[in-house]
Structure 1
Amino acid sequence: MVTISLCMIVKNEEDVLERCLDSVKDLVDEMNIVDTGSTDRTVEIAKKYTDRVFFFEWTGKFKDARNESFKHATKDYIFYLDADDVLQEEDRQKFKLLKETLDPEVDSVSMYYNAGVDEYGNVTLRYRRNRLLKRSRHFQWQGDVHNYIEVSGHIVNSDISITHLKNRHAVGRNLSIYKRKIKNGDSFTARDYFYYGNELRENGLYLEAIKSYTKAIEMEEGWVEDKIYACIFRADCHRFLGDTEKELSSLLLSLHFSKTPRPEAACRIGYHFQQKREYKPAIFWYELSTELKDDPDKWSFTYPAYSTWYPHLQLCVCYYHIKDFEKSYEHNEKAREYRPNDERILFNKKMLENRLEPVSRSRS
């Protein structure tokens, strides 16, 4: 059976670190925790689990701290987590089985990253990351903000999920790092422009975000998946600015890169027509989004809401407006399977049952 080193970087994580370490303490053979300047009880908590607590002066670049944490690993494989990540029980059992059966010739095992979860336990954002890495391959972190690991060789895609349970959001932190890169005259890759656009959009700087996404889209280099979502997120910025025609153009451009529609684009196109009260084309795009199947080996972003409860809720609204109350009720019930106590869905349920009751009586 292979051995595993947990490697983490932390700073002021006293609220979440214990939860994280409890979820993996019996799965790994070594814990290496690198602190980058905590002023709370983080180090004290870490030392309850391991004597391998190290200190590293923050350089302003996450990759430096993450690569430092990897230097302390001594086992066969490196497994990394953030302090606000956990393994849920089902995934703990899968991880145990993986450890017992992993072929030592494997260079990396990818796992899902559930980057967001709603109040009903539905995953809101998911993507794959190389998560378990063969130490002897000396894989390194790249990128100053949204880091990635350059991995090659024998890679296995597992169905294990790491769940991110963030209790706060560092507003503007990543944006300031990108602005520092610009000030320093650093060159940007297509990937940099995409993630810089995300930071600008999340901070409400929509015009700047549009410019950054456009650069990511127009550069010849770059991952096609980033270009797809750059089109989709740029469309959001146009919508926020009230330019619905440019919104639609950007959404349709995403089809040029994806070849077949993504639910995230299909729902937005449906919403575009819904806002114009063109309900039949809206219904077409929403129904399409419920039929599109996600590729389990896909590495880019997946927002499950756009193929589950959200299009069903909007189909409820669209069918209501064309007075097909039975279909409206049917789609509302499908949405309720995912969000059983959502006030909007419960309101629709009551209203539609009142509408359908007289019809049901007249048929009997």
Structure 2
Amino acid sequence: MAEPRLSLCMIVKNEEKNLPRCLESVQGQVDEIVVVDTGSTDGTREVAARYGAKVLTYRWQNDFSAARNVSLDHASGDWVLWLDADEELLDSSQGVTLRQLAAVSDMDGYLMPIQNMKLDGTFTAHYAVRFFRKLDGIHFEGKAHESVGDWLLRYGGRIERSPVAIRHWGYAITEERLQEKLDRNLELLMAQVEKDPNNSYAHYYVGMSLMAKKNFEGGYRHLKKAQELGPTTPNMECLVLNMLAYYHLHHGNHRTAEELTRRSLSITPRQHTGRLFLGIALYNQKKYREALPLLREAYQFQRLPLDRRRSDLSLEHAYGEAELLWAVARSAYEVGNFPLAYQFAQRLQEAGGTDGSVLVLQAASSLALGAFQEAAIFFQKAQDMGASWVHIAAPWIFALLHLGRLDEARDLLEKAGSGFFENGESEKTFPLFVERHWEAGEMAELIQTLTRLAAMDHVPLAVLDALALSLIKQQRYTEAVPVLEKMLHDDPGNPQIQRRLAAVYARLGHGARAAELLNAGGAGSLSGNVSNRSSGKNG
């Protein structure tokens, strides 16, 4: 049986710079090159001719399909590959060639992975029928986002995934040029909708284009129209549901986004976008345990080489690497998987995502793993980058206490001031701070720090309590009196404070005041009230 002939079909205009890269990539892969020029004024036609292309001239009609169908009419091959000038054919990592794909007798087309490069070197990916058998009557459809895919589906053709991929450089451009390209496509798509208002496919692409231009409300209306008209395939139904979910994610309607993505996944379970958007929706609802495996899978999927990605959708969306790394790290921390949280925070740092919040998460993960020295280093770096004392003071001091670095802990506590007590972790850290100083016999240093803290506005009762007890332990009763009086003023009628203050007055020989306090509170005996024990949780 004769080997099938392969034709490359292209439409071009002023592409003399891009065209050589494209045509070099297909050398030895195709038997014929058909180039339809739609009005070039540079050397595009001459470049194409140098590569042996059949060059045709066609007057542009504001319709991509019409131009592509001209190239199709002049192709003599059994199979057709179509590319744009800003694309190139990539070698398969599996060593598979187009000729091998065309030799499969019962196959009619291949969805080829397309790597859409960005200026920063990252890329998104989608799949499109770019290599297909030249069946009788086959033709492109759609003024923009043209394809033969729908025709093949109506024909009943068999379509499979291709291990051979295409790299697209058309989006590696400035934002201004990208907007110009979107405007051009949007104009053609709107003309198609006007001509065929019941075309759900056209409404979907209008909605996508409007959202890419940040016109979310206009995009939403067209996506809802596509949904109401009834997408023609399960693939299109999922694409519409996923973009509607994206709209709701953007507006903070995370519960609605969750519902839409679950519907999408029930139709097509093997997909990336539905799982990614579901993970984001769950994460933003603080459902970290459910979100974590989805977000981690999404990260792993986006790191795969294009030809190793497995999906049953024609278009997969991506999420920024830094945002995804952060979401995985945060989710892992919230569910207590501290090694994973540390690992992904470290990856984020290596990817250039180092800011105060990342360092705080690394420090907190290190602390949870008992790596106190490392935690202290990360907290210091976070503080150098302007992290709030509210977020770092309590856990940082906790690490320093475990390292026995009491002088640094005191210095930090004085610098942080009230910010220390605004963090819930201060409830376990402050009693430890006091206890470690008592154990080390550094009472004078402790009292000095507590005295400075007691001068703060809205001083926490725990500070006064610790200061009073520390003074009593040192038998500095006269100094303890104003501290205890302030505690009683802030918490009037507290019997424990009344008994302790009465005992101190008794030690100082002020029996009348002691009796007054005991009678006011019905506190009873003074026995045991001036001791080395705390009345609260700081002892």
TM class, shorter-length: 0.7 to 0.9
Cα deviations by residue, 1:183-228 (Å, 9 ceiling, x for unpaired): x543331211111110111112211111111111222342233232
| 1:69 CA displacement | 0.4
| 1:275 CA displacement | 4.3
| 1:305 CA displacement | 5.0
Cα deviations by residue, 1:21-76 (Å, 9 ceiling, x for unpaired): 11112211111110111222222221221251111111111110111001111122
Distance in structure 2 (CA, Å) of the matches to 1:297 and 1:233: 17
Q: Which piece of structure 1 moves more, 163-172 or 138-147?
A: 163-172
Cα deviations by residue, 1:125-149 (Å, 9 ceiling, x for unpaired): 232x333322353421112212121
Match for residue 310 of structure 2 among 296, 301, 315: 296
Counterpart code for 2:140: W
**Sequence identity (%):** 22
SS in 1 for 2:110: strand
Distance in structure 1 (CA, Å) of the matches to 2:94 and 2:61: 34
| 1:20 CA displacement | 0.6
Counterpart code for 2:132: L
Instruction: Name 1:153's counterpart in structure 2.
Output: 157
Instruction: Name 1:179's counterpart in structure 2.
Output: 190
Which protein has the bigger strand share?
A: 1
Instruction: Name 1:33's counterpart in structure 2.
Output: 35
Q: Does 1:213 align with 2:226?
A: no
Match for residue 167 of structure 2 among 160, 163, 185: 163
SS in 2 for 1:133: strand
Give the alignment of 1:34-183 within 5 angstroms. 34-90=36-92, 93-95=95-97, 98-99=98-99, 102-103=102-103, 105-117=105-117, 123-127=123-127, 129-149=128-148, 150-151=151-152, 152-166=156-170, 167-168=172-173, 169=178, 170-182=181-193
Instruction: Name 1:252's counterpart in structure 2.
Output: 259
Contact 1:107 1:154 in 2 (8 A): yes
SS in 1 for 2:315: coil
Counterpart code for 1:108: D
Structure 1 residues 189, 314: CA separation in 2 closer, same or farther (over 3 Å shift)?
same
SS in 2 for 1:199: helix
Structure 1 residues 54, 289: CA separation in 2 closer, same or farther (over 3 Å shift)?
same
Structure 1 residues 344, 323: CA separation in 2 closer, same or farther (over 3 Å shift)?
farther
Instruction: Name 2:199's counterpart in structure 1.
Output: 189
Task: Point out the structure with max Rg over C-alpha.
Answer: 2
Q: Does 1:342 align with 2:343?
A: no
Structure 1 residues 288, 156: CA separation in 2 closer, same or farther (over 3 Å shift)?
closer
Instruction: Name 2:526's counterpart in structure 1.
Output: none
Contact 1:286 1:311 in 2 (8 A): no
SS in 2 for 1:159: coil
SS in 2 for 1:163: strand
Distance in structure 2 (CA, Å) of the matches to 1:50 and 1:118: 31
Distance in structure 2 (CA, Å) of the matches to 1:101 and 1:257: 30
Structure 1 residues 100, 212: CA separation in 2 closer, same or farther (over 3 Å shift)?
closer
| Unpaired segments ≥5 residues, structure 2 | 302-308, 374-401, 404-539
| 1:159 CA displacement | 1.4
Cα deviations by residue, 1:150-175 (Å, 9 ceiling, x for unpaired): 12435443311112122333131111
| 1:270 CA displacement | 4.0
Cα deviations by residue, 1:220-250 (Å, 9 ceiling, x for unpaired): 342233232323322333444x4x23x5314
| 1:309 CA displacement | 7.5
Cα deviations by residue, 1:236-278 (Å, 9 ceiling, x for unpaired): 33444x4x23x531441232243159543444344345446x2
Instruction: Name 2:477's counterpart in structure 1.
Output: none
- Report the TM-score, using the length of structure 1 for normalisation: 0.81
Contact 1:332 1:348 in 2 (8 A): no
Structure 1 residues 19, 116: CA separation in 2 closer, same or farther (over 3 Å shift)?
same
Instruction: Name 1:226's counterpart in structure 2.
Output: 236
| 1:17 CA displacement | 1.1
Structure 1 residues 163, 236: CA separation in 2 closer, same or farther (over 3 Å shift)?
same
Distance in structure 1 (CA, Å) of the matches to 2:184 and 2:199: 20
| Unpaired segments ≥5 residues, structure 1 | none
- Report the TM-score, using the length of structure 2 for normalisation: 0.57
Structure 1 residues 305, 177: CA separation in 2 closer, same or farther (over 3 Å shift)?
same
Q: Which piece of structure 1 moves more, 188-197 or 346-355?
A: 346-355
Structure 1 residues 160, 321: CA separation in 2 closer, same or farther (over 3 Å shift)?
same
Distance in structure 1 (CA, Å) of the matches to 2:192 and 2:157: 32
Distance in structure 2 (CA, Å) of the matches to 1:146 and 1:284: 36
Counterpart code for 2:80: I
Structure 1 residues 93, 21: CA separation in 2 closer, same or farther (over 3 Å shift)?
farther
Which protein has the bigger helix share?
A: 2
SS in 2 for 1:147: coil
Distance in structure 2 (CA, Å) of the matches to 1:231 and 1:102: 34
Q: Which piece of structure 1 moves more, 57-66 or 37-46?
A: 37-46
Q: CA RMSD in A?
A: 3.5
Distance in structure 1 (CA, Å) of the matches to 2:41 and 2:51: 19
Distance in structure 1 (CA, Å) of the matches to 2:87 and 2:12: 12
Distance in structure 1 (CA, Å) of the matches to 2:249 and 2:263: 20
Q: Which piece of structure 1 moves more, 317-326 or 1-10?
A: 317-326
| 1:109 CA displacement | 3.5
Counterpart code for 1:313: W
Distance in structure 2 (CA, Å) of the matches to 1:80 and 1:30: 12
Give the alignment of 1:304-319 within 5 angstroms. 305=319, 311-319=324-332
Distance in structure 1 (CA, Å) of the matches to 2:44 and 2:94: 24
Counterpart code for 1:180: A
Counterpart code for 2:45: V
| 1:2 CA displacement | 2.3
Distance in structure 1 (CA, Å) of the matches to 2:100 and 2:232: 37
Structure 1 residues 48, 218: CA separation in 2 closer, same or farther (over 3 Å shift)?
same
More relative contact order, 1 or 2 (CA 8 Å, 6+ apart)? 1
Distance in structure 2 (CA, Å) of the matches to 1:328 and 1:297: 28
